[in-house]
């Protein structure tokens, strides 16, 4: 069993499937009148967010509390990091208080790896730069498993948008293909990674060609500053070519679902009306986030010997 | 008169060839090279190669301004332990070496350390900002023969043209760090398979190649002598071959890390592998090795770039680029390049001595009358790289733990054994 969750590549297909099964148990807890169990009583979990986040931070903290872990929140604006303290000094100071896991988000890729070099605690990556966001990918896989009408091995997933700068896309490609899905990246060449050597994906520059063939249309958030960097001529043109417009959403196959990691730019990568359609599972993604993060925390910090055992 | 020092029992290798001979040294000069010399203190060279001291065209000594990472004294000691008797100090200090005053300070500190000859490279532009020419004439008057904005390439083609024209009048060499900022856009490693996977902004090979091409074109236009620093891509080396074939006065260096490491080393986000130009592909490494062997590249230079652990503990995209290299360069060349030792010494001693315009005191032929700057190398000694055992103030070596063959036993600087049996004596 691994100690950290820094990357989807730290899991194998069997481990990922058992994590999804464990998430089912956690979802059951979350449906109880009092959604709280003592599984991680006495464990201390720190969330270390060097970058703004609403849903991921709250989702992790809710997950930790429902498992009865003690939580500490480090927010950069009120910390010594503002006084020039180094990352290493900050995390070693926090660890000296006695902690079991660090949930870290940072704008620089690779920070979770450096932390795990310095700390004994488990390190959970809550997003590192453009690199990975593994719990997002697990909750997306869980959502697909619940909502799609076919098993993973028969699914075609289109990930549409700014793959180049997306940690969600990197983790999702790894997780979805590990579970057997076929993945197509749909983006202009300027928003794809410079090299796709070793990526088990297909690529398309034409969403209209792809949209009728997919079981999952996964829209990525389009950062507004990309047009200033001339990666696209304008957001308007981006929407015309790569937005999930009403017209394109109408062409989705029967049973196909619409996903987005949030926060959405309604009217840019997704039409406002499309996001609220019955086949949109965007709200379910958020709900499942808590259950998935409970599963991850329990898996890394719990006894772990019997997944979904008597204390859960 | 000081005592006579006899370097005894070694094989002398220099620009003129190789022979079994002892070397006698008095008053800082070689007084005899021949069989069975005696009558002085013996420096044992049995089983060793006795060479002209090594010369490094590319060293960051960090003083003035960043003495917590390295000083001229600690960097000089590190150089001596690596077999060097002359190094060229890059001007990206704080303040930059862009005036006679700072040149003098670095020269004086180099003389005070008295471990190697510290030659100073001056900045091409004021503050290395790339906007106005630095007073190259006043620096040249103090003996500066090498000008570079190293760390930055001079972006403005018109300014670089003027610098080259001006350099012709002074008879000095311009050295360029080739990196086109407009193309690279903040890349922190080689752009390719690994940067894509790791989610890090990359700089493509073309970032370097574009400036190599431009400066070859400007060298043709101006007739300036241009040295290309730390070349790292296959096509950069091809451009240099073409320029040489055309007879342009260009030269080039390559670093040990660019002939040994690839971008795959960045996989764990360890900033010790962050360097500029970045570690590139297997194909580029192979091309650098070929170019060192076939003479397209004139010399090996370390780009010794010390950084404190605090700075190197920043996240990968924020950490400063660079790695230390003075104490591992020779062994890496001997272990990795599979070239005859004569060729390695040509790349590390007499060729760079010529380019540094240091041949009165370094490189060349070991014969009576020459300044006694030499190193004694045990070519078969094997050792394991240990950063904590290094004389450099910094520890950012990417080669820690690597087993290498070939080690400096003694370094003689101006007739004094500043390194003896692998230990610094001053």
pLDDT digits (tens, 9 = 90+) for A246-255: 999 999 999 9
Q: Look at A194 and B196 and tell me if their CB atoms are within 8 Å.
A: yes
State how far residue A306 is from chain B, nearest Cα, in angstroms: 32
Torsion sign over Cα A86, A92, A96, A101: positive
Q: Look at B196 and A129 and tell me if their CB atoms are within 8 Å.
A: no
Both structure tokens of A43? 């464990």
State how far residue A230 is from chain B, nearest Cα, in angstroms: 12
Q: Which residue has the tokens 């989705």?
A: A252
**B81 burial type by CB count under 10 A (0-12 exposed, 13-18 middle, 19+ buried):** buried
Beta strands per DSSP E along B27-111: 29-34, 41-44, 49-52, 54-59, 84-89
Instruction: Determine the pLDDT at residue A293.
Output: 98
Give φ, ψ of B50 to 5 degrees: -105, 115
Instruction: Determine the pLDDT at residue B1.
Output: 53
Q: Look at B193 and A132 and tell me if their CB atoms are within 8 Å.
A: no
Q: Look at A194 and B313 and tell me if their CB atoms are within 8 Å.
A: no
Contact present, A159 and A173 (Cβ < 8 Å): yes
Q: Which residue has the tokens 């003694």?
A: B410
Instruction: Determine the pLDDT at residue A192.
Output: 97
Is pLDDT above 70 for A1?
no
pTM of the model: 0.95
Query: How big is the CA angle at B81 (ends B80 and B85), to the nearest 5 degrees?
Result: 20
Which residues of B are less than 8 Å from A110 in CB distance? 198, 200, 268-269, 315-316
Instruction: Determine the pLDDT at residue A280.
Output: 98
Instruction: Determine the pLDDT at residue B326.
Output: 98
Q: Which of A51, A195, A199 best tests the B interface by mutation, with the highest count of B CBs <10 A?
A: A195
Residues of chain B under the 50 pLDDT cut = none
Catalytic (active site) residue B215: no
State how far residue B315 is from chain A, nearest Cα, in angstroms: 6
- The number of helices, as runs of H, and strands, as runs of E, in chain B is 13, 21
Q: Look at B315 and A106 and tell me if their CB atoms are within 8 Å.
A: yes
pLDDT-based confidence at residue A308 (cuts at 50, 70, 90): very low
Q: Which residue has the tokens 């290395």?
A: B128
Instruction: Determine the pLDDT at residue A153.
Output: 97
Of A88, A108, A199, nearest to B317 by CB-CB distance is: A108
Spatial neighbors of A148 by CB under 8 A, at least 6 apart, are: A155, A215, A216, A255, A257
Report the Cα–Cα distance between both ends of chain A, in Å, rounded: 19
Average pLDDT over residues A74-100: 83
Both structure tokens of B74? 């600690």
> Nearest chain B Cα to A169, which residue?
B199
pLDDT single digits (tens) A177-213 = 999 999 999 999 999 999 999 999 999 999 999 999 9
Which is catalytic among the residues B303, B311, B360, B421?
B303
The Cα–Cα gap between A141 and A178 comes to: 10
User: Could you tell me which residues of chain B have a Cβ less than 8 Å from any Cβ in chain A?
Assistant: 191-193, 195-200, 202, 204, 268-269, 310, 313-318
Instruction: Determine the pLDDT at residue A205.
Output: 98
Contact present, B346 and B54 (Cβ < 8 Å): no
The Cα–Cα gap between B277 and A99 comes to: 40
Q: What is the DSSP string of A30-59?
A: HTSSS----TTTT-EEEEEESS--SHHHHH
Give φ, ψ of A129 to 5 degrees: 55, -135
Q: Which residue has the tokens 């000594």?
A: B61
Both structure tokens of A119? 């700390």
The Cα–Cα gap between A130 and A169 comes to: 9
Which residues of A are less than 8 Å from B197 in CB distance? 170, 193, 198
The Cα–Cα gap between B189 and A110 comes to: 13
The residues with which B425 forms a beta bridge, in sequence order, are none
Contact present, A259 and A220 (Cβ < 8 Å): no
Of B192, B200, B268, nearest to A113 by CB-CB distance is: B268
Q: Which of B390, B234, B222, B396 is nearest to B320 (CA)?
A: B396
pLDDT single digits (tens) B202-245 = 999 999 999 999 999 999 999 999 999 999 999 999 999 999 99
Is pLDDT above 50 for A307?
no
pLDDT-based confidence at residue A274 (cuts at 50, 70, 90): very high
pLDDT-based confidence at residue A312 (cuts at 50, 70, 90): very low
User: Could you tell me which residues of chain A have a Cβ less than 8 Å from any Cβ in chain B?
Assistant: 86-88, 106, 108-111, 113-114, 128-132, 167, 170, 193-199
HSE-CB at B138 with a 13 A cutoff on CA atoms is: 12
Both structure tokens of A286? 């958020």
Which residues of A are less than 8 Å from B192 in CB distance? 194-195, 197
Which residues of B are less than 8 Å from A86 in CB distance? 310, 313-314
The Cα–Cα gap between A127 and A261 comes to: 12
Both structure tokens of B14? 């220099």
State how far residue B235 is from chain A, nearest Cα, in angstroms: 19
State how far residue A165 is from chain B, nearest Cα, in angstroms: 7
Is pLDDT above 80 for A239?
yes
pLDDT single digits (tens) A142-152 = 999 999 999 99
Average pLDDT over residues A224-235: 86
Q: Look at A129 and B200 and tell me if their CB atoms are within 8 Å.
A: yes
């Amino acid at each position: 069993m691994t100690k950290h969750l820094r990357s989807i590549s730290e899991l194998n297909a069997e481990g990922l499937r058992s994590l999804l099964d464990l998430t089912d148990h956690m979802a059951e807890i979350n449906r109880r009148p009092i959604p709280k169990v003592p599984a991680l009583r006495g464990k201390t979990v720190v969330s270390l967010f060097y970058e703004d986040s609403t849903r991921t931070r709250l989702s992790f903290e809710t997950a930790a509390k429902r498992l009865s872990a003690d939580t500490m929140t480090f927010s950069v604006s009120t910390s010594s990091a503002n006084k020039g303290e180094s990352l290493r000094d900050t995390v070693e100071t926090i660890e000296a208080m006695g902690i079991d896991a660090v949930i870290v988000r940072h704008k620089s890729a690779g920070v979770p790896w450096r932390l795990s070099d310095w700390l004994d605690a488990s390190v959970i990556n809550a997003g590192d730069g453009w690199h990975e966001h593994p719990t997002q990918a697990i909750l997306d896989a869980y959502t697909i498993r619940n909502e799609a009408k076919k098993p993973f091995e028969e699914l075609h997933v289109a990930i549409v948008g700014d793959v180049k700068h997306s940690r969600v896309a990197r983790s999702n490609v790894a997780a979805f293909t590990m579970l057997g899905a076929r993945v197509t990246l749909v983006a202009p060449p300027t928003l794809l990674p410079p090299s796709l050597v070793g990526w088990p994906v297909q690529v398309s520059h034409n969403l209209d060609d792809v949209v009728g063939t997919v079981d999952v249309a996964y829209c990525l958030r389009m950062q507004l500053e990309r047009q200033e960097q001339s990666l696209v001529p304008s957001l308007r043109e981006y929407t015309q070519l790569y937005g999930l417009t009403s017209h394109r959403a109408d062409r989705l196959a029967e049973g196909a679902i619409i996903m987005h990691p949030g926060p959405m730019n309604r009217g840019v990568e997704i039409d406002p009306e499309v996001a609220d359609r019955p086949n949109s599972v965007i709200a379910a993604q958020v709900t499942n986030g808590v259950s998935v993060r409970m599963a991850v925390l329990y898996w890394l910090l719990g006894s772990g010997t019997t997944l979904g055992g008597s204390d859960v | 008169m000081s005592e006579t020092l006899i370097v005894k029992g070694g094989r002398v290798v220099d620009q003129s060839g190789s022979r079994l001979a002892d070397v006698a040294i008095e008053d800082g000069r070689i007084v005899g090279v021949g069989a069975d010399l005696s009558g002085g203190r013996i420096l044992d060279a049995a089983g060793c190669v006795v060479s002209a001291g090594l010369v490094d065209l590319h060293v960051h000594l960090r003083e003035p301004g960043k003495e917590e990472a390295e000083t001229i004294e600690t960097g000089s000691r590190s150089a001596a332990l690596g077999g060097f008797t002359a190094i060229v100090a890059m001007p990206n200090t704080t303040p930059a070496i862009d005036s006679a005053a700072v040149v003098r300070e670095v020269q004086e500190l180099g003389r005070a350390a008295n471990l190697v000859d510290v030659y100073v490279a001056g900045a091409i532009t004021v503050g290395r900002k790339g906007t106005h020419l630095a007073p190259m004439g006043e620096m040249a008057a103090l003996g500066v023969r090498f000008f570079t904005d190293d760390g930055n390439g001079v972006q403005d083609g018109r300014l670089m043209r003027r610098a080259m024209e001006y350099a012709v009048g002074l008879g000095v060499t311009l050295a360029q760090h080739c990196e086109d900022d407009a193309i690279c856009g903040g890349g922190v490693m080689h752009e390719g398979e690994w940067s894509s996977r790791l989610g890090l902004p990359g700089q493509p090979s073309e970032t370097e190649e574009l400036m190599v091409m431009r400066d070859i074109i400007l060298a043709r236009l101006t007739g300036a002598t241009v040295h290309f620093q730390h070349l790292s891509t296959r096509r950069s080396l091809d451009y240099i071959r073409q320029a040489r074939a055309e007879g342009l006065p260009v030269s080039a260096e390559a670093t040990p890390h660019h002939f040994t490491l690839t971008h795959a080393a960045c996989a764990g986000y360890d900033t010790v592998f962050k360097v500029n130009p970045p570690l590139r592909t297997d194909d580029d490494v192979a091309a650098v090795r070929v170019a060192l062997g076939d003479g397209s590249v004139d010399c090996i230079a370390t780009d010794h770039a010390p950084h404190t652990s605090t700075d190197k503990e920043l996240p990968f995209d924020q950490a400063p680029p660079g790695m230390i290299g003075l104490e591992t360069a020779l062994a890496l060349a001997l272990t990795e390049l599979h070239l005859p030792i004569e060729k390695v010494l040509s790349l590390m001693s007499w060729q760079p001595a010529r380019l540094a315009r240091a041949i009165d005191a370094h490189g060349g032929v070991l014969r009576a009358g020459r300044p006694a700057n030499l190193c004694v190398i045990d070519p078969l000694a094997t050792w394991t790289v240990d950063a904590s055992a290094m004389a450099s103030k910094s520890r950012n070596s990417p080669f820690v733990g690597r087993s290498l063959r070939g080690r400096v036993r003694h370094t003689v600087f101006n007739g004094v054994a500043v390194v003896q049996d692998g230990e610094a004596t001053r």
